[in-house]
């Protein structure tokens, strides 16, 4: 089966914080393409990847970058596929610079952004899976089962807390 989701990052040093993306996608049966491509250091390769992405069978591209965070915008400029930006929480500004760069795309170059750090990488993967679920009933069923599991886990934690507080 061809990959439907790609994860691009500007530096391999970001991968430890992005492993949850790969794990989440794999938990739902998706094997992503994972690449290190830089908007600044490998601009031709990044553009070529974006231009060929749809023909390669990709349906969603996740782009993680810190600092100037231009990767998502460069990719979005070269494809009509959905692009989700993952701003990395790198020093010295803790990801504020990456967040602002990701959400300040000019009109006509859409990039969706998730949170800086924390749940951002996982939410990027889940957002990609929800996009796939629009045209894939099997994935839609998996996403609904995930939602129910999340619901049930919270209620179980609440019940345990209530028992602890009342004993």
Task: Cite the DSSP H helix spans in the chain.
Answer: 15-27, 43-53, 71-77, 96-103, 120-133, 137-165
Range of the domain at 155: 138-167
CA distance 153 to 58: 33
Residues 29 and 72 in one domain: yes
Indicate the angle between helix axes 15-27 and 120-133, nearest 10 degrees: 30
Q: Are residues 13 and 75 in the same domain?
A: yes
- The pLDDT confidence band at residue 117, using thresholds 50, 70 and 90, is confident
Nearest Cα neighbor of 89 from 81, 97, 79 is 97
46: nearest Cα among 67, 25, 18, 65: 65
Over residues 97-112, mean pLDDT: 94
pLDDT at 68: 87
pLDDT confidence band for 128 (50 / 70 / 90): very high
pTM over 0.85: yes
* Residue 18 pLDDT exceeds 80: yes
Predicted confidence at residue 118, as pLDDT, reads 86
Q: How many domains does the chain have?
A: 2
**123 and 149 in one domain?**
no
């Amino acid at each position: 089966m061809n990959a439907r989701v790609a994860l691009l990052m500007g530096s391999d040093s970001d991968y430890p914080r992005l492993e949850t993306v790969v794990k989440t996608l794999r938990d739902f049966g998706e094997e992503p393409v994972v690449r290190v491509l830089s908007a600044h250091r490998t601009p031709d390769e990044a553009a070529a990847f974006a231009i060929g992405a749809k023909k390669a069978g990709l349906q969603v591209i996740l782009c993680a970058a810190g600092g100037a965070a231009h990767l998502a915008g460069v990719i979005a400029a070269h494809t009509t596929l959905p692009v989700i930006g993952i701003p990395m929480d790198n020093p010295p500004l803790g990801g504020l610079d990456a967040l602002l760069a990701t959400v300040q795309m000019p009109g006509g170059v859409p990039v969706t952004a998730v949170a800086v750090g924390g749940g951002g990488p996982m939410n990027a993967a889940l957002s990609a899976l929800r996009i796939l679920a629009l045209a894939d009933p099997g994935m839609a069923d998996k996403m609904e089962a995930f939602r129910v599991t999340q619901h049930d886990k919270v209620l179980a934690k609440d019940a345990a807390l209530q028992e602890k507080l009342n004993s």
